[in-house]
Each structure stands twice: as C-alpha cells, then as structure tokens.
Amino acid sequence: MAINTRAELSDEELAFLQKLLSDELRKVSGNIAQLEVQTEATSKCTHLDAVDLASQIAAQRAAHSVLESQRQQLSEIEHAMARLKVGTYGLCEQTGEPIGFERLAVLPWARHAVT
C-alpha cells in the first residue's frame, strides 16, 4: 500500500485552513497571556482569611488547568503550522492517508483521519 505524500487539498482550501490556524494561534496566545497575568495578580493577594484563601487556591487551580489546556492547544497549532511548511499537513500521522477538508475545517490541527 502506497502512502500519500501530499494531502488532497486545493490551494484555496489550504489557504483557508492556514488562515484558521493563524487566527487560532493569535487567539490562544492572547488567552495564555491573559491567564498568566490573571494568575500572577491573584497570587500576589495577601492578608486573606481562611475562606478567601481557599477560594483563591481553587480559582488558581482552575486557572492553571485552563492555562495548561491552552498551552497544549498552542502546541498542537504550532505542530500543524510546521507540517504546513514541510508539506505533510492534512495527512494522517498514523496512516499517511488524507484527512478530509471537512474535518480540518472544524479542527485545523487534527493529526489523524477519522476511520
């Protein structure tokens, strides 16, 4: 079985998907920056009673969880953009088969085709 070396996407589809990735990269990067500022600001609060401290700790844990999720998404987007540069974008990393445009339009950093 031959493995494809180029996704079956038109130039227009690739341009559309590249724009989606770029837009998402900006959005996620902005989210990360904002979360980092918020996390830093809440960690500087002092003189809290036990209830406020517990609330602050819970909020920080939630913010850290969201921040980690956003960092993972940023990594996936950067990986997809790197694949665009080398010409392997849109190909399943497991099988080498094309990932459909419809799937990529919903999740432009998808690594695998739906089987």
Of 78, 108, 110, 106, the closest CA to residue 97 belongs to 110
Of 66, 62, 60, the closest CA to residue 31 belongs to 66
Q: For residue 44, what pLDDT is reported? A: 65
Q: For residue 13, what pLDDT is reported? A: 95
Q: For residue 43, what pLDDT is reported? A: 63
Of 32, 94, 84, 72, the closest CA to residue 104 belongs to 84
Q: For residue 45, what pLDDT is reported? A: 62
Cα–Cα distance measured from residue 90 to residue 113, given in angstroms and rounded to the nearest whole number? 9
Q: For residue 42, what pLDDT is reported? A: 65
Question: What does residue 104 show for φ and ψ, rounded to 5 degrees?
Answer: -65, -30
Q: For residue 110, what pLDDT is reported? A: 97
pLDDT tens, per residue, the chain with 115 residues: 444 456 689 999 999 999 999 999 999 999 999 988 887 766 666 666 777 777 777 877 888 899 999 999 999 999 999 999 999 999 999 999 999 999 999 999 999 998 7
